Structure 1
Amino acid sequence: MEAPVNSNEHRPPLVGIGQSVPRKEDRTLVRGEGSYSDDQNLPGQAYGAVVRSQHAHGLIRGIDLTAALAIPGVLAIYTGEDLVKAGQRPQPAGVTAPNRDGSPMRWPAWRALAVGKVRHIGEGVAFVVAESAVAAREAAVLVDVDIQALPAVTAASEAVKPGAPLVHDEFPGNAALDFHFGDSAAVAAAFAAAAHVTRLPIISNRVIVAAMEPRASLGSYDAQAQRFTLRHACQGAHGARKVVEHMLGVEDGKVRILTGHVGGSFGMKAHPFAEDLCVLHAARDLGRPVKWSDSRSESFLSDTHGRDHEMTIELALDADANFVAMRVRGVGNVGAYLTQGGVFPPAVNQMKNLPSVYRTPLLEVETKCVLTTTNPVGAYRGNGRPEANYYVERVIDLAALELGIDPVELRRRNHVRPQELPFTSAGRQVYDSGDFTALMDDALRLSDWDGFAARREESRARGLLRGRGVGQYLEVTGAPGTEMGGVRFEPDGTVTMITGTLDTGQGHASAFAQVLVSELGIPFDKVKLIQGDSDELVAGSGTGGSKSLVASGRAMIEASAKVIEAGRKIAAHELEAAEQDVEFAAGRFVVVGTDREIGLMDLAARLHAGLDLPPGLPATLNVTHVHDGVPSAFPNGCHVAEVEIDPETGACHVVRYTAVSDFGTIVNPMLVEGQSHGGVAQGIGQALMERTVFNEQGQLLTGSFTDYALPRAGDVPPIAMGNHPTRALTNPLGAKGCGEAGCAGSLTSVMNAVTDALRPFGIRHIDMPATPERIWNAIQEAKAGAEHPSAA
């Protein structure tokens, strides 16, 4: 046999872990060549439009389709009753938690179209299908829905009051979950014995997700195979397939999910929506593909929303200002129905994340997850983690003010120290790594903390108030669930990775390829990624919880080990050596002590060419590997924000920003920086401008970008970024996740800066969003109180 040629000198340098590499998809996307949901079309497709309720709460007395069916081109109109008759079922239960009394939580029935009753503005009551989108929308306007209006209730704190309208009759008091965690007696005793207690009522305001790409769905049906195909944007094709099959009432394997590029999700597209089920039903009924596309204004009414919690946080300290206990009580608005993870943010995730980077020994959490006549509330970037960190950081700043202690010193005094790791938090999370004090000190230096006084005086000279805020955070990332790592060597010399996560803008193709390059030494430009085809997947819990790199990274590492194991056996045969004498490094199998070697890609090419192998040897290098999830990781960091406020108008601007993070192993610094920038921008939006408003009838008053403010480029200052990494010990890659950390740091630091700027007026707290109106009113009220102390 001819010895393989040693071509080490001619191989290009590897693009592996730790290098800043542009996203593989960017060249395609910036040239407008992407393939998003609304770009998908099929021959002969019809078009759908949803008839939406104009009442937030009411009984459906009748639906008259006569005028709508008379519109030329209308093919069919379906109601909720039609879907039930066809065998469709409500969404399955998702994340659950036990009630305070130990009883299991229950799920209200959430169907694709309302049956008998509507429970929020914009809920679908009928689905029109026509030859054109224009005809479908025209007919939808003519569907006459007779609804007997019922009283609405939009705030969770109002929905739990006696006599409040019941959203679902079978849920007394509108409580979907009465969650409790902690030792009440021990916490009460700690508070009773505390030298000081700080108490802060606080709100995490409801936000509109406003993903860059509105949703769209294209359904088709193969009558011969009795199989559905759904083309839409999601966060995990495998999980979406399971939910859709359940709702359609069909057996496993009868649905295929196809997802191309996804223009943002932030948790909102983590589960299928009503329109997905409507197009599939219509496609089967009509025998042709059916497409539905959302409009931006319609998305305000049909998408899930985020946040919306009303909490009171209490912090107990001893005489030396050490934290001795923390208690959080409140309500979380879950909307009219429960999304797959609807109870997670105000309950379970809040509990896990509240202890943050501090040694607080005792924690109690009491949260009611409350049903209201509003859009269902789902995951939104961080899904409870930014909120929990926000509550803690605000109460620490307030405690420092009350005690006359520097807020930085109070944090430093209560940090979990490196020598205390592994550390079990009061939320029962085991922190494996981190250096929280040193990281904070890095952030203070990078932000020029000591130079703030001069900057404040300069702002004052211009008639502006300047404040600064420090916000530390720790997130519990990762989630249970299987993850897939597939590696397939293609005949054309490329390598395909297959994972159960799904890229919604994070840059998976590059980051995952860098892991594979580092493990297998294959060329970066030869690696492709498949995530959005459920037929290719055997497992996968989808993207979410900042776990994609941690979970898929581990899956790819383990899959790579299997590739090497199989390759060593085949290479030993090719190189006429004992298997134990063959080593693998930098993409090549080498016989120890000789110049005989063969590259992994060369070996794959020979297999495709029909390499003759004896019985007992692997016939392929391809691997399909599934692991059972990864333990949590704990990214953490410290952000420092400076704001300027015009006291005459209340206008507030973030003028200086610093972020230092511990994300463990950083695979691609460029992607991490971009993810951090996006999270900071979303946090600034929620902190200063994003406000979702319903009136007493449940009508959405902020139903377009005319009324709802999103941050623009000019609202986000340059961000000074630093890293203080400590390797995670919970996964082989050592990564901790980064996708949602920007929100966790920006909510805390920006709002601490706002209150610091307003401190000269005696203002101790202001709720998000700190809009100019809210700030101006707070200043006027503070001035009036100072002028008339008896009125305070």
Structure 2
Amino acid sequence: MMDESKHSFAGDSMRRVEDEEMILGKGCYTDDIQFPEMLHLHFVRSPYPHARIKRINTSTALKQDGVLEAYTAEDLIRDGVNPYPVPGPPGDFVTKEIVDKGYRRADGEPMDPPRWLALAKDEVRYIGQPVVAILADTPETALAGAEAVEVDYEELPSVGTIADAEDSSAPAIWEGAPGNLLIQMEHGDSQKTETIFAEADHVTQLELSNSRLVGNAMEPRASVCQRDPEQDRLILYTGHQAPLGLQGSLAEDIFGWTKDKLRVIVGHLGGGFGIRAETYPEEIVTVYAAHKQSRPVKWNGDRTQEFYGTVHGRDQLSTAELACSRDGKIQALRILTRSNIGAYPTGPGAAIPPVVGPKILTSLYHVPCFHLEVRSYLTNTVPMGAYRGAGRPEAIYLIERLVQKTAEEMSLDPLEFRKRNFIPPQAMPYTSAMGEIYDSGDFEKVLDQALEISGWNDFESRVQTSQDKGRIRGRGISCYIEWTGAIWHEEVTTEARDDGSIVLYTGTQNMGQGLKTAFTQLLSEQLELPIGKIEVVQGDTDLVKGVGSVGSRSL
């Protein structure tokens, strides 16, 4: 047990305050929530990447004992449920010029994506897209009802990869995206960059793929919704990184309500990683069904549904070129990145390739001139979203591979080449080619410290030791700079109680990373209170305010 009479300071080693209730079996994840007379949802999903919905027959399903409803897109539309709003550039961290211009196609016209309803209408656009929602008295009955639904499809041509989408012979999968190109954006000076490359002593070119990833948290997604027994509103229990963001998205954007008509409560959350920052179709239908039935409704996904129902990440192809002088100084950078946005653009999925990743594209290096073109293609795949770093790992992977290859081609020591092109300390504050301001940094000093700590110069002796044991040893180096925070405001409230304890209310969301422990340590140190006198409250839109945990901004 934890000694709650002790004080703790930031950086101290202490038992995590989150863990005791988990060890004692008192944790409560969304699927643990049970209510009397609770109904259960199961979704009929598309088996095709692209198809026209010709007919939906739910009559057999509705005849089964225990099946109450079979919802389709027509039900949602009739009851005023809105499609997802079309996302625009995030005003919190991009320039006003980009916000005002919005996302544009290659022809200069505004981005025009397919309209996205929680249940597919007329066409399905990716495998796993929800088409029909069966509501029944047990999970087993809901599954049986879903299996009795008949959907007639007319399969349509589809594209699944960037290479498929950009091919001149590719089928056009949406009239609003000519050539399947949904967003095209450029940064930098194209003409000046071309001139420098034409006159450069050395040019290195690199083709690089960032593979598509499936964000796969330990806890599959789930949602439970019931009517508030005390007020005229609904309460949604779900796992989400930004409860207040979800409240606004569902209440205002999707249902056209005021936010006070929906309370969101997040209990224990088995992993976030960015994938739990979206508004998903299953959450929309769970709230819709509870509203219609005035009974508690639960949907619980499984691991398979996580693969084809949760947003994916990465999926980019890049062609990068670096122009250098004879003495190994970077003169210009030129990049073409093509990204797979999936079947529909989410807010993060649309923003990551053209405006998030590019923020750190030049990394620690002084790049006098650059040009970046980003093309985001519509495909018949699961929509893309944020996943662990959200664009920054892709950007750093690209520039570091390019820098390494350039050094090797020019027969320069890769460490020396990096140092030669680091932004010098005397240049701080430094404005990068993307307009980002670095307020400080002595990158060569940090690299030297890392090399010393790692025993970089003793590598050959360790190689011999490994070879003597029949093993192989290698080494590599990469420099990384991060852009975090994304939204530059947060709201917290502290409450002093008459027993001398303090309660901290914060909109940031614990999802396994130990936030409650960190906040407890900070308050214990700053307020000189024992840890037993500190309580941290998160995850309830009635109690907390703030943005939430996205963009590595929690602490």
- TM range, smaller chain: over 0.9
* TM-aligned CA distance change 1:251 to 1:322, over 3 Å: same
* TM-aligned CA distance change 1:462 to 1:180, over 3 Å: same
Does residue 35 of structure 2 align to residue 42 of structure 1? yes
Match of 1:432 among 436, 439, 444: 439
Alignment of structure 1 residues 88-237 onto 2, 5 Å: 88-96=81-89, 97-99=102-104, 104-222=110-228, 225-237=231-243
Q: Measure, in 1, the Cα distance between the counterparts of 2:15 and 2:172.
A: 52
Contact 1:211–1:264 (Cα < 8 Å) also in 2: yes
SS in 1 for 2:260: coil
What amino acid does structure 1 have at the position aligned with 2:213? V
Q: Measure, in 2, the Cα distance between the counterparts of 1:477 and 1:335.
A: 25
Match of 1:261 among 248, 264, 268: 268
Residue number in structure 2 paired with 1:704: none
Q: CA deviation at 1:360?
A: 1.2
SS in 2 for 1:158: helix
Contact 1:205–1:308 (Cα < 8 Å) also in 2: yes
* TM-aligned CA distance change 1:254 to 1:367, over 3 Å: same
* TM-aligned CA distance change 1:13 to 1:75, over 3 Å: closer
Deviates further, 121-130 or 472-481? 472-481
What amino acid does structure 2 have at the position aligned with 1:305? H
* TM-aligned CA distance change 1:102 to 1:362, over 3 Å: farther
Q: CA deviation at 1:84?
A: 1.2
SS in 2 for 1:505: coil
Contact 1:344–1:383 (Cα < 8 Å) also in 2: no
* TM-aligned CA distance change 1:420 to 1:102, over 3 Å: farther
Residue number in structure 1 paired with 2:16: 23
Does residue 377 of structure 2 align to residue 370 of structure 1? yes
Match of 1:395 among 382, 390, 402: 402
Q: CA deviation at 1:163?
A: 3.9
Residue number in structure 2 paired with 1:467: 474
Q: Measure, in 2, the Cα distance between the counterparts of 1:250 and 1:224.
A: 18
Contact 1:167–1:336 (Cα < 8 Å) also in 2: no
Q: Measure, in 2, the Cα distance between the counterparts of 1:31 and 1:323.
A: 58
Q: CA deviation at 1:398?
A: 0.6
Q: CA deviation at 1:392?
A: 0.6
Q: CA deviation at 1:188?
A: 1.2
Q: Which has the larger radius of gyration?
A: 1
Alignment of structure 1 residues 489-500 onto 2, 5 Å: 489-500=496-507
Residue number in structure 2 paired with 1:528: 535
SS in 2 for 1:445: helix
Q: CA deviation at 1:247?
A: 0.6
Residue number in structure 1 paired with 2:96: none
Alignment of structure 1 residues 573-584 onto 2, 5 Å: none
SS in 2 for 1:197: strand
Q: CA deviation at 1:483?
A: 1.4
Would you say how many aligned residue pairs link Structure 1 and Structure 2? 538
Contact 1:160–1:174 (Cα < 8 Å) also in 2: yes
Q: CA deviation at 1:491?
A: 4.6
What amino acid does structure 2 have at the position aligned with 1:379? A
Q: Measure, in 2, the Cα distance between the counterparts of 1:173 and 1:294.
A: 35
Does residue 323 of structure 2 align to residue 320 of structure 1? no
Residue number in structure 2 paired with 1:450: 457
Residue number in structure 1 paired with 2:510: 503
Q: CA deviation at 1:463?
A: 6.4
Q: Measure, in 1, the Cα distance between the counterparts of 2:467 and 2:6.
A: 54
Deviates further, 471-480 or 119-128? 471-480
What amino acid does structure 1 have at the position aligned with 2:156? L
* TM-aligned CA distance change 1:281 to 1:522, over 3 Å: same
Q: Measure, in 2, the Cα distance between the counterparts of 1:163 and 1:35.
A: 52
Alignment of structure 1 residues 373-388 onto 2, 5 Å: 373-388=380-395
* TM-aligned CA distance change 1:480 to 1:530, over 3 Å: same
Contact 1:236–1:542 (Cα < 8 Å) also in 2: yes
Q: CA deviation at 1:510?
A: 1.5
SS in 2 for 1:308: strand
SS in 1 for 2:460: helix
SS in 1 for 2:475: strand
Q: CA deviation at 1:103?
A: 5.3
Contact 2:5–2:531 (Cα < 8 Å) also in 1: no
Q: Measure, in 1, the Cα distance between the counterparts of 2:422 and 2:449.
A: 15
Alignment of structure 1 residues 730-745 onto 2, 5 Å: none
What amino acid does structure 1 have at the position aligned with 2:519? F
Residue number in structure 1 paired with 2:309: 302
Match of 1:356 among 356, 363, 376: 363
Contact 1:223–1:284 (Cα < 8 Å) also in 2: no
Q: Measure, in 2, the Cα distance between the counterparts of 1:166 and 1:513.
A: 55
Residue number in structure 2 paired with 1:342: 349
* TM-aligned CA distance change 1:26 to 1:416, over 3 Å: same
Q: CA deviation at 1:319?
A: 1.5
Residue number in structure 2 paired with 1:598: none
**Deviation digits for residues 232-291 of structure 1 (CA, Å, limit 9, x no counterpart):** 000111111010011112223211111011111100010221111111111121220100
Q: Measure, in 2, the Cα distance between the counterparts of 1:451 and 1:186.
A: 44
Residue number in structure 1 paired with 2:52: 59
- Unaligned runs of 5+ residues in structure 1 are 1-10, 550-792
Q: Measure, in 2, the Cα distance between the counterparts of 1:498 and 1:104.
A: 41
SS in 2 for 1:136: helix
* TM-aligned CA distance change 1:262 to 1:94, over 3 Å: farther
SS in 2 for 1:231: strand
* TM-aligned CA distance change 1:439 to 1:221, over 3 Å: same
SS in 2 for 1:253: helix
**Deviation digits for residues 86-118 of structure 1 (CA, Å, limit 9, x no counterpart):** 111122244525437765444432211101100
SS in 1 for 2:134: strand
What amino acid does structure 2 have at the position aligned with 1:511? A
Residue number in structure 2 paired with 1:81: 74
SS in 2 for 1:342: helix
- Unaligned runs of 5+ residues in structure 2 are 90-101
**Deviation digits for residues 468-520 of structure 1 (CA, Å, limit 9, x no counterpart):** 21011001111135411111123554321112221222211121223333333
Q: Measure, in 2, the Cα distance between the counterparts of 1:34 and 1:382.
A: 28
Residue number in structure 2 paired with 1:555: none
Q: Measure, in 2, the Cα distance between the counterparts of 1:518 and 1:108.
A: 52
* TM-aligned CA distance change 1:324 to 1:472, over 3 Å: same
What amino acid does structure 2 have at the position aligned with 1:476? W
SS in 1 for 2:151: strand
Contact 1:221–1:280 (Cα < 8 Å) also in 2: no
SS in 1 for 2:478: strand
Q: Measure, in 1, the Cα distance between the counterparts of 2:342 and 2:196.
A: 35
Contact 2:342–2:384 (Cα < 8 Å) also in 1: yes
Contact 1:332–1:369 (Cα < 8 Å) also in 2: yes
Q: Measure, in 1, the Cα distance between the counterparts of 2:45 and 2:126.
A: 10
**Deviation digits for residues 267-321 of structure 1 (CA, Å, limit 9, x no counterpart):** 0010221111111111121220100000111211111111100111111111111
Contact 1:92–1:243 (Cα < 8 Å) also in 2: no
What amino acid does structure 2 have at the position aligned with 1:472? C
Q: Measure, in 2, the Cα distance between the counterparts of 1:466 and 1:399.
A: 24
Contact 1:354–1:389 (Cα < 8 Å) also in 2: yes
**Deviation digits for residues 115-163 of structure 1 (CA, Å, limit 9, x no counterpart):** 1100000000011111110111111111111111112211123212334
Q: CA deviation at 1:465?
A: 5.1
Does residue 283 of structure 2 align to residue 290 of structure 1? no
* TM-aligned CA distance change 1:47 to 1:425, over 3 Å: same
Deviates further, 261-270 or 440-449? 440-449
* TM-aligned CA distance change 1:302 to 1:436, over 3 Å: same
